[in-house]
Amino acid sequence: MTLVMQEPDFRPREQDSCAPDVKTGLKPAILAKFQDVAAAQGKTLAPLTDDLVLLESGLDSLCFAIIVATLEDELGYDPFTEAEDVYFPVTVADFVQFYERDR
């Protein structure tokens, strides 16, 4: 048996991201964040459908602030501060699309 010393490979490698997949995983991640925050804040969350108006979701402004801040930490961006136009999502689908825009 012969032992061969191999030189370590220091070439950069493609790294898997910890962030949810933007195209396929963003909506479930956002909806899960809605549910987590509602539970943590003791809010009763309405069924999360695309056409649910955010003001009728059962969440208050503090909940949405927590959701946006947490998503910024997890995704690495905040579309509310990066957006050039002033736009506030009205429905759950609008909220998800706002995060998916240009990503």
Superfamily of segment(s) 28-100: ACP-like (1.10.1200.10)
Give per-residue pLDDT as tens, 32-48: 999 999 999 999 999 99
**What pTM did the predictor assign?**
0.72
Report d(CA 22, CA 4) in Å as an integer.
43
Q: Give me the helix-helix angle, 22-40 and 61-75, nearest 10°.
A: 140
Q: What is the mean pLDDT of the chain?
A: 82
Q: Which residues of 67-100 are buried (b: 16+ CB within 10 A; e: fewer)?
A: bbeebeeebeeebeeeeeeeeebebbeebbeebe
Q: What pLDDT was estimated at residue 2?
A: 56
Q: What is the pLDDT of residues 47-90, one digit of tens each?
A: 999 999 999 999 999 999 999 999 999 999 888 888 777 678 99
